[in-house]
């Protein structure tokens, strides 16, 4: 094993032992603090503390303390509707930034919304509907100043893929739309419930690595799906599957009779223009508006070009028709009974969780950049409420868009008023401009979507994940290739499964380490990390880097015994023997009944080998359970120490010949 025996540091440790022989041990022992038994906590108080730390760790009621009833009522209303708080401080000069930002993201969202609606197999107007009502609700209830609300590519693809597995969007269009509204309703209910019951920590189970992989895979899948519009392939000739093999087979089987060269020229030319605009905006931050306005310019120019040349009669597919007017009511369209309720709930819950993960991540990112607090649970309530109301007004699942939020931030938004401005522009579009989109070629919408999702493939993040944690990289690649080669739904399932597998592996196989003394100090550290650390004769010091539960207690006991056996093998040729096993327990945050039983078994096994078990620095929760189980009395209070250094100061003299 790594590390040096006491003889290698003779001057260091030998002088300490020598001084201990001459009477300084008694003086050192006088300063050893005993680990006292903590006062017994009442059951009610213990449960109350546990619930508070689990669900109310941020102490949401702290503002209500010592306040009159009228003030508490006002604070309560403000907590639900943050606009009442920041609205009182809103100044006219702030509106300039919000106006510019709102107009900028509106120019970006209108063409994107039309394309994303097609991605969800819905008519174009539903994308615009989803950028009108939900942003207004979020502006009233949301706490982020920068997030821009509306349909997003990943959720649109996920929704479209899962919905078409249940209902054919062409043959049963009305039923498909009803199921989309039902899924949106349950997406909102799921998001609202997570926030209301303060269960937001559940979305953290989907690791960052899995999200990076899923988003990257989804970007590839979305881009492949757009080959249909980019090449002019008719929908009836294109596969409904999303995996790369099925899509590419469908693309090349239609090579001679499905492609349209005029469509390809339009799509590729404007895709190059959009990517160039993104490149310019990325190189020069002040020119962010170039990338933001490029999609709208592409739509206007291409639509005018198709109209004057009547390219639609030469095979160029166009949007044809977008319903004019404000969102119609759809509350009567939602399935509240029947076989589609369960299917709507499943699809909505999955889409809601993905949308929630994306929105909270975006909100936290920009909140950190502007140094303000974002309440995750309030965000979930706001997002849930807007999707529930959205499902009543012909909207499908909306969430925070990273590309639009970035533009919103760069454009100088100050508050959520920018979302309101965007909604007003979308409203004007629905009432006045929609007929002008009649000749918009589908190839342009495909180009806009491809250029928008390119940024979801984060190669730098993938490289960083590889450098930091190889298992995280496996999760990332599992999600990526799962989405690309199998499908969006199963790819997401793989991402979740690998994330859970990592958690289980870390819980069931925690790290353990042999500790040694850093020369000329009283500090004990892992001998693999610090090769100069020395092991003391007759002592084996082990640290357990995890709580001890039923899932890992047997492994920890066996691992410690294996370390002890290895140590005794190393000492076989010497006259030294291990007399004390010291377990450093400061990282052990908790222990359960199985953990106590494993310690008891370890104690009995050590006793047969004439070795004493010593514990150092157990936390209050652990110490409570050690006393409650009477294990503390079994090993003796004299064998429980505040630190490893205290334990060595007392035990080392007992090992002297």
Pairing type for strands 512-517 and 524-526 reads antiparallel
Ranked by mean pLDDT, which of 142-156, 366-380, 494-508 comes out on top? Answer: 142-156
Q: How far apart are CA 378 and CA 381, in angstroms?
A: 5
pLDDT above 70 (res 206) = yes
Q: Averaged over 640-652, what is the pLDDT?
A: 90
User: Which pLDDT belongs to residue 133?
Assistant: 96
Q: Averaged over 556-572, what is the pLDDT?
A: 91
Q: How far apart are CA 240 and CA 162, in angstroms?
A: 11
Q: How far apart are CA 27 and CA 136, in angstroms?
A: 72
pLDDT band, residue 32 (cuts 50/70/90) = low
Ranked by mean pLDDT, which of 124-138, 492-506, 638-652 comes out on top? Answer: 124-138
Residue 328, classified by CB atoms within 10 Å of its CB into exposed (0-12), middle (13-18) or buried (19+), is exposed
Q: What is the mean pLDDT of the chain?
A: 86
Query: Which residues, including other chains, have CB under 8 Å from residue 629's CB and lie 6 or more apart?
Result: 593, 596
Q: Averaged over 471-493, what is the pLDDT?
A: 87
Give the rounded percent of residues in the chain with a pLDDT score beyond 90. Answer: 49
Number of neighbours of residue 338 by Cβ within 10 angstroms: 10
Q: Averaged over 510-524, what is the pLDDT?
A: 92
- The angle, 0 to 180 degrees and rounded to 10, between the axes of the packed helices 417-428 and 133-141 is 160
- In the DSSP assignment, the letter for residue 441 is B
Tell me which of 624 and 48 has the higher pLDDT.
Answer: 624
User: Which pLDDT belongs to residue 2?
Assistant: 41
pLDDT band, residue 25 (cuts 50/70/90) = very low
pLDDT band, residue 331 (cuts 50/70/90) = very high
- The angle, 0 to 180 degrees and rounded to 10, between the axes of the packed helices 153-164 and 92-119 is 30
Q: Averaged over 16-23, what is the pLDDT?
A: 40
Continuous H helices in 226-334: 227-231, 244-253, 261-283, 288-309
User: Which pLDDT belongs to residue 503?
Assistant: 83
Q: Averaged over 466-490, what is the pLDDT?
A: 89
pLDDT above 70 (res 59) = no
pLDDT above 90 (res 167) = yes
pLDDT above 80 (res 434) = yes
Helix (H, G, I), strand (E, B) or coil at 541: strand
Q: Averaged over 16-21, what is the pLDDT?
A: 40
Backbone angles phi, psi at 360, to 5 degrees: -65, -40
Q: Averaged over 362-376, what is the pLDDT?
A: 83
Distance of CA 263 to the CA centre of its chain: 39
Q: How far apart are CA 485 and CA 655, in angstroms?
A: 64
Range with the poorest average pLDDT among 48-62, 96-110, 458-472? 48-62
CA-closest candidate to residue 425, choices 93, 155, 101: 101
Lookup result for tokens 């819980």: 507
pLDDT digits (tens, 9 = 90+) for 139-164: 999 989 899 999 999 999 999 999 99
User: Which pLDDT belongs to residue 242?
Assistant: 80
pLDDT above 60 (res 18) = no
pLDDT above 60 (res 22) = no
pLDDT band, residue 397 (cuts 50/70/90) = very high
pLDDT band, residue 506 (cuts 50/70/90) = confident
pLDDT digits (tens, 9 = 90+) for 405-426: 988 998 889 999 999 999 999 9
pLDDT above 90 (res 541) = yes
CA-closest candidate to residue 437, choices 104, 152, 124, 117: 124
pLDDT above 80 (res 610) = yes
User: Which pLDDT belongs to residue 8?
Assistant: 41
Token duo for residue 226: 């757009």
Q: Hey, CA dihedral for 205, 208, 214, 215, is it positive or negative?
A: positive
Helices (H) and strands (E) in the chain, counts: 28, 8
Give the rounded percent of residues in the chain with a pLDDT score beyond 70. Answer: 88
Q: How far apart are CA 515 and CA 169, in angstroms?
A: 64
Tell me which of 49 and 432 has the higher pLDDT.
Answer: 432
pLDDT digits (tens, 9 = 90+) for 240-291: 788 888 888 888 888 777 788 888 999 999 999 999 998 998 888 888 888 8
Token duo for residue 393: 């007004």
pLDDT digits (tens, 9 = 90+) for 76-120: 788 788 898 888 889 988 999 999 999 999 998 999 999 999 999
pLDDT digits (tens, 9 = 90+) for 336-366: 998 999 999 999 999 999 999 888 888 888 8
């Amino acid at each position: 094993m790594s590390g040096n025996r006491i003889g290698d540091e003779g001057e260091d440790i030998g002088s300490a032992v020598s001084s201990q022989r001459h009477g300084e041990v008694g003086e050192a022992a006088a300063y050893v603090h005993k680990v006292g038994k903590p006062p017994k906590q009442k059951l009610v108080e213990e449960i109350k503390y546990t619930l508070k730390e689990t669900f109310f760790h941020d102490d949401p009621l702290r503002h209500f303390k010592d306040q009159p009833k009228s003030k508490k009522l006002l604070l309560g209303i403000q907590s639900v509707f943050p606009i009442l708080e920041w609205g009182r401080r809103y100044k006219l000069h702030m509106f300039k930034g919000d106006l510019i930002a709102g107009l900028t993201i509106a120019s970006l969202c209108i063409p994107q919304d039309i394309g994303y609606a097609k991605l969800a197999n819905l008519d174009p107007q539903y994308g615009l509907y989803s950028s009108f009502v939900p942003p207004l609700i979020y502006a009233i209830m949301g706490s982020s100043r920068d997030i821009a609300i509306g349909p997003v590519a990943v959720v649109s693809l996920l929704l479209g893929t899962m919905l078409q597995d249940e209902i054919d969007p062409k043959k049963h269009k009305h039923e498909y739309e009803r199921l989309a509204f039902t899924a949106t309703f349950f997406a909102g209910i799921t998001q609202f419930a997570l926030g209301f019951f303060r269960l937001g920590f559940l979305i953290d189970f989907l690791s960052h690595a899995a999200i990076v992989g899923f988003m990257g895979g989804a970007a590839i899948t979305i881009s492949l799906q757009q080959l249909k519009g980019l090449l002019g392939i008719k929908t009836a000739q294109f596969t409904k599957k999303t995996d790369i093999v099925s899509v590419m087979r469908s693309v090349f089987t239609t090579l001679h009779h499905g492609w349209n060269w005029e469509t390809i020229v339009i799509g590729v030319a404007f895709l190059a223009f959009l990517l160039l605009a993104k490149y310019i905006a990325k190189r020069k931050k002040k020119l962010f508006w170039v990338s933001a306005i490029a999609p709208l310019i592409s739509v206007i120019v291409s639509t005018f070009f198709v109209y004057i040349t009547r390219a639609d009669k030469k095979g160029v597919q166009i949007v044809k028709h977008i319903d004019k007017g404000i969102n119609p009511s759809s509350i009567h369209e939602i399935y509240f009974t029947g076989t589609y309720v369960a299917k709507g709930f499943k699809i909505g819950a999955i889409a809601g969780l993905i949308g929630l993960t994306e929105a909270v991540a975006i909100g936290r990112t920009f909140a950190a950049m502007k140094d303000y607090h974002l309440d995750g649970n309030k965000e979930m309530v706001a997002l849930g409420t807007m999707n529930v109301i959205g499902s009543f007004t012909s909207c499908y699942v909306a969430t925070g868009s990273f590309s639009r939020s970035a533009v919103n931030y760069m454009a100088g938004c100050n508050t959520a008023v920018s979302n309101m401005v965007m909604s007003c522009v979308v409203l004007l579009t629905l009432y006045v401009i929609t007929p002008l989109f009649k000749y918009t070629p589908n190839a342009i919408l495909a180009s806009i979507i491809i250029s928008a999702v390119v940024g979801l493939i984060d190669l730098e993040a993938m490289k960083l994940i590889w450098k930091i944690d190889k298992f995280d990289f496996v999760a990332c690649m599992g999600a990526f290739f799962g989405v690309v080669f199998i499908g969006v739904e199963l790819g997401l399932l793989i991402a979740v499964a690998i994330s859970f597998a990592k958690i289980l592996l870390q819980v069931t196989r925690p790290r353990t380490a042999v500790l040694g003394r850093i020369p000329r100090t009283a500090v004990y550290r892992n001998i693999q990390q610090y090769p100069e650390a020395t092991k003391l004769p007759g002592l084996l010091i082990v640290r357990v880097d995890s709580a001890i539960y039923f899932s890992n207690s047997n492994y920890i006991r066996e691992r410690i015994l294996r370390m002890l056996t290895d140590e005794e093998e190393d000492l076989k040729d010497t006259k030294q023997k291990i007399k004390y096993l010291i377990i450093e327990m400061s990282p052990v945050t908790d222990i359960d009944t199985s953990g106590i039983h494993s310690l008891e078994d370890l104690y009995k096994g050590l006793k047969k080998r004439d070795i004493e078990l010593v514990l150092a620095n157990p936390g209050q929760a652990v110490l409570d359970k050690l006393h409650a189980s009477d294990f503390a009395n079994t090993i003796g209070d004299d064998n429980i120490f505040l630190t490893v250094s205290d334990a060595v100061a007392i035990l080392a003299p007992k090992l002297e010949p």
